[in-house]
Homo-oligomer: A and B are copies of this chain.
Amino acid sequence: MTGEDTSKDAAAVSEKMDLKIQSDGKEKDEPQDGAARKGPKSIKKEEKFILKTPKGTRDQGPMQMALREHVFAIVKECFTRHGAEQIDTPVFELKQTLTGKYGEDSKLIYDLADQGGEILSLRYDLTVPFARYLAMNKIANIKRFHIGKVYRRDNPAMTRGRYREFYQCDFDIAGQYDPMLPDMECIQIACEIIKKLDIGEFVIKVNHREILNGMFNKCGVPNEKFKEICSALDKLDKSPWEEVKKEMCEVKGLAEETADKIEKFVKFNGGVELVDKFLGEDLGKNPNAKKGLEDLKLLFEYAEIYGIAQYLSFDLSLARGLDYYTGVIYEAILRQNPASPQDEGESVGSIAAGGRYDGLVGVFDAKNKSTPCVGISIGVERIFTILENRQPNDAHSGLPIRSVATEVYVCSAQKGLAKERMKICAELWANGFKVEQSFKLNPKLLVQLQYCEDKRIPFAIIIGESEIEQGIVKLKTVVTREEVEVNRKDLVATLRQKVARS
């Protein structure tokens, strides 16, 4: 990225101030023991100051922000093209609002200190606050999106886009509707966004909690263990089956032969023909599995109409960790990481995921009134990571190549012309142009023009005393270095044409 964004490599240490700049990547939670280090003889002698962002977080510099804005614009355009309304909720919630919603992952929730008053936690996702919002405002129907930061005290893996503070972009549909119509829309949106981002081939794994329940039942998993076995199965995308089986049997007390039966199922993945196969077999006779399989059959039918069936893969190993899902679940996976060819063939993890959660709003409702919901969350951090890695290598990627939008830079070629520059700037700003100038009274012309090149500003206006006398300015096209003289009173009109053409 730009030369400014060097936080990760900054490791300068000053003995004098006893000040450390620690790389984000180093993942040291505690200040190191400073006994061997001596500060100057002052009252601050023993004070250590560490210049860093908190573990698992990072600043976003100008070029990174330009890239983020590019991705957010694509995501938002798609959400609004599908008629979504936007909402926002506070970054923290009452702790009890989050309690009991995330299963094993609840330990990753950030709590606020008790400073007298309410007990609060940072939000862990945007789904639970959405359900709280629906129940609190008694909203039965809404199609909303929400872009915001969420917080997880997870072990960060920053090079792979896993942070403790990260953005989610969620689209959800709440309301009592007919099967698979809203579910299909969520998957359609995921497809549209991933295609538009142009980050490579992808597949959308789909499964259904009811199929998993039917499968667990068939395999002999006791009812009360469904959720924890589901949560163990969810790790299959990161760990080999042997490890998952070990967790199922040794940690969660499942019989080995039960785990072996599960293994036979989770090997399967395919298209609608696999749904049909299971519908015709023993699994299809289990009422839960039957319901789930019929949902998926319909989903494939609708996907055919939308022309996206080829992206769907019914995958019995897909489990999704969160407790609250009740129906269709899905996860979009990049087939390979275009930024790292060495990863070829290996999946780089989920870039969008979601599913149906019909019970969550009811938990917050005074009368347990349920509001069926289904949603998709776009994993923008991983997308940023992919695009950041690719950006420098691909000038024709359509990605932003500059961090300012400035169209014109107003330069002076001689001393004492700052006020003349200001007059031009004022006129151009008032006419809607994006304009900058130096904040020095008498900057060198070369320094001013260098700034234009560095920031890729397309046009420079240059004034000297003779131009002022003649009532003209020089208008320079920075890239070509072509210069024309423009009458001062024609400047706005001339620039308008030039900027429109550039």
Contact = CB atoms under 8 A, between A and B. Distances in A.
Contact of A175 (B165, B307, B439): B439
A469 B29 CA distance: 69
Nearest to A15: B366
A182 interface: yes
A477 interface: no
B118 A30 contact: yes
A499 interface: no
Interface stretch (A53-61, A203-211, A243-251): A53-61
Interface in A182-238: 182, 185, 188, 192
Interface string A98-139: 000000000000111111111010100000000011011111
A432 interface: yes
In the complex, the count of this chain's copies comes to 2
A16 B367 CA distance: 7
A181 B441 contact: yes
Contact of A91 (B49, B138, B165, B429): B165
Given A182-B439, A404-B83, A439-B185, A90 B136 contact: no
Interface string A295-334: 0000000100111000000000000000000000000000
Given A55-B118, A116-B29, A4 B139 contact: yes
B436 A82 contact: yes
Contact of A6 (B55, B112, B137, B192): B137
Given A87-B59, A90-B54, A29 B440 contact: no
A17 B367 contact: yes
A88 interface: yes
Interface stretch (A62-70, A344-352, A458-466, A482-490): A62-70
Nearest to A143: B436
A156 to B, nearest CB: 11
A4 to B, nearest CB: 5
A112 B110 contact: yes
Contact of A52 (B59, B94, B138, B368): B94
A181 B440 contact: yes
A414 B114 CA distance: 59
B82 A429 contact: yes
Interface in A379-437: 403-406, 418-419, 422-423, 426, 429, 432-436
Given A55-B117, A305-B426, A83 B173 contact: no
B307 A90 contact: no
A89 B29 CA distance: 19
A86 B49 CA distance: 27
A36 interface: no
A268 interface: no
10 cross-chain pairs, A with B, having the tightest CB-CB distances, nearest first: A14-B366, A62-B85, A83-B436, A177-B439, A57-B90, A111-B113, A29-B117, A60-B88, A181-B439, A65-B86
Given A13-B366, A181-B441, 20 more contacts: A4-B139, A12-B366, A16-B366, A51-B132, A59-B88, A60-B88, A65-B85, A82-B435, A82-B436, A83-B406, A83-B435, A86-B403, A91-B149, A110-B112, A111-B113, A177-B440, A182-B439, A188-B429, A306-B422, A306-B426
